[in-house]
Amino acid sequence: MNLSEIDLNDLDFSNVHAWPLAARVVLVALIAVVVLFLGYWFDIKDQLLTLEQAERKETELKSEFERKAAKAANLAAYEQQLEEMKQSFGTMLRQLPNKTEVADLLVDVSQTGLASGLEFELFKPQAEIPKEFYAELPISIKVKGRFHEFGAFVSGVAALPRIVTVHDIAIQRASDKEETNNDLVMELTAKTYRYLDEEEEAGQ
């Protein structure tokens, strides 16, 4: 007997065992489909979602592990680089004068200008500006001379063993009453630096 020969009105749902075989097979198949759907909806779906989240977490952890492994592999190089930076910083720090050396450094700057053939019209150290671990000492300078003498002065300052930087350079012709042999006037701010001792740094 096939399904086309079955009349649904003849089926007695209280006596399923008396149904034709084809009808019983269809009923069992429908029940199986319903059970599978309910199982998926109430159980497997959540498990699939949990699995997807676990796979995503696994990918993230794997990427994090690879990053940390790369860092661990380069740890020796990082430590060597850090040591080199510390040594470089120490070398630069030693180029900053202490309190007793600032006066000598100011003399060195002025002597460099005189040796370059310049005539000083102004050499005025300003008030110190405290920073994190050092102090900045600006010096207002005004000199008269020729262009190549200015270049020699700036080069000489840059060659000093201590750190001196040059800022706000302005060059103009000397005024008529001062003009001699086509002299120029250069104004600038030279900045030197000294490191703060422990007491001064603590005060900061």
**81 within some domain:** no
**181 within some domain:** yes
What's the sign of the alpha-carbon dihedral 117, 113, 141, 169? Answer: positive
103 and 193 both lie in a single domain: yes
**88 within some domain:** no
Instruction: Look at residue 170 in the predicted model and tell me its pLDDT.
Output: 92
34 and 106 both lie in a single domain: no
CA atoms within a 13 Å half-sphere pointing along the CA-CB vector of 196 = 17
Number of domains in the chain: 2
**79 within some domain:** no
* Distance from C-alpha of 92 to C-alpha of 96, rounded to nearest angstrom: 7
**199 within some domain:** yes
3-class secondary structure, 120: strand
**Domain span including residue 193:** 95-203
177: domain CATH number is: 3.30.70.60
* 182 conformational bin, left if phi > 0, alpha if psi -120 to 50, beta if neither: left
Instruction: Look at residue 2 in the predicted model and tell me its pLDDT.
Output: 47
* Distance from C-alpha of 131 to C-alpha of 76, rounded to nearest angstrom: 33
64 and 110 both lie in a single domain: no
**137 within some domain:** yes
Last-in-domain residue among 38, 73, 108: 73
142 and 69 both lie in a single domain: no
List of E strands, the chain: 119-125, 129-130, 134-145, 164-173, 184-195
142 and 43 both lie in a single domain: no
Running along the chain, 204 residues long, what does each successive block of 10 average in pLDDT? 51 63 74 79 75 86 86 81 78 65 82 90 88 84 90 89 86 68 85 72 57
**82 within some domain:** no
**10 within some domain:** yes
